Amino acid sequence: MVDAVIVGTMALDSIETPFGKAEGVLGGSATYASYAASFFCRPGIVAVVGEDFPQDALQILGKRNISLDGLKKEKNAKTFRWQGSYEYDMNEAKTLKTELNVLASFKPDLPAEYRDARFIFLGNIDPQLQLDVLSQIRSPNLVIADTMNFWIEHKREKVKEVIKKIDVLLLNDGEARELFEMPNLSRAGKSALGMGPRAVIIKKGEHGALLFTRAAHFSAPSYPLENVVDPTGCGDCFGGGLTGFLAKTDDVSEWNVRKAMIYGSAIASHNAEGFGLEVLKKISIVDVERRFNEFKSIREF
């Protein structure tokens, strides 16, 4: 039995930032999100990799008590690869190259034990695959979906179809402005709520995150990082951490979603301090709790 089902990409990333570079490191939305969720619960991954996927990467995830039963390994095929770089301000990744490889023909087929999961995180991947996964879940308690500008630009209607079927929508500020065609984030948030979700979370990177529900508004601060080494995966860590905490506590009240956002932010802020899973592999729940408490002192008045 898994506590949360997480669909997304598993990738080999090549990243260049003003502070260094990393070649072929373990990445992808499902990787980051499941790792972050595993601080709180047992997540199950739905993803696909190729023959070239390193065995030790799977061991890293397996050791975290992450179920890999939903991971498909394609023979004679290559893993999804992403190459990106960041400018000096570290705000947005510039995609230099994408090789879909195994992703191009992926058809998710969930293991029986996943189908009864109550918490679902539809990580950043083709919205059609998000729908395919969702259709196989029997009776979810909470469905959280992330998206990305690429899908908004290329599969806008499909993204909207996903939004209509979920409980919590995650997207970043630029994407919210783009999808709803309005520069004002409060209005974009309300527009998103109008499509069905009970909550919309707008991720703003170094400026924190905003939660919009019909009844309330919450502004999560960001952590004042002095050394952002590589922001890749921070959005996925935020979503995975959020999902993992909600699954662990089995409480989907607005109040608990606020806490979950801070836990997601705490993990994401650690993640930005190194390449790939470098930092997350070194920290424990104690570090996450410590940062959670720092977040409290940052916003108190």
Instruction: Write out the residues near its own copies by the rule CB under 8 A.
Output: 88-90, 183-187, 189-190, 204, 206-208, 210, 212, 216-222, 224-226, 228, 255, 258-259, 261-262, 296-301
**Which amino acid makes up residue 70?**
G
Dist CA 169 CA 189 (whole Å):
10
- Least distance to its own copies from the beta carbon of 132, Å? 34
Of the candidates 220, 262, 271, 237, the one whose C-alpha atom is nearest the C-alpha of residue 90 is 271
Pairing of strands 11-17, 43-49: unpaired
Dist CA 43 CA 37 (whole Å):
7
Dist CA 276 CA 27 (whole Å):
6
- Least distance to its own copies from the beta carbon of 286, Å? 20
- Least distance to its own copies from the beta carbon of 246, Å? 14
Residue with tokens 């199950």: 44
- Least distance to its own copies from the beta carbon of 272, Å? 11
In this complex, which beta carbon is closest to its own copies, that of residue 88 or of residue 112?
88
- Least distance to its own copies from the beta carbon of 67, Å? 30
**Which amino acid makes up residue 147?**
T
In this complex, which beta carbon is closest to its own copies, that of residue 100 or of residue 225?
225
- Least distance to its own copies from the beta carbon of 76, Å? 44
Cβ-proximal residues to 292 (8 Å cutoff; 6+ apart), any chain: 262, 263, 266
Dist CA 206 CA 224 (whole Å):
8
In this complex, which beta carbon is closest to its own copies, that of residue 79 or of residue 265?
265
Assess contact for 12 and 26: CB atoms under 8 A.
yes
Residue 103 corresponds to which tokens in the numbers above? Answer: 């992703």
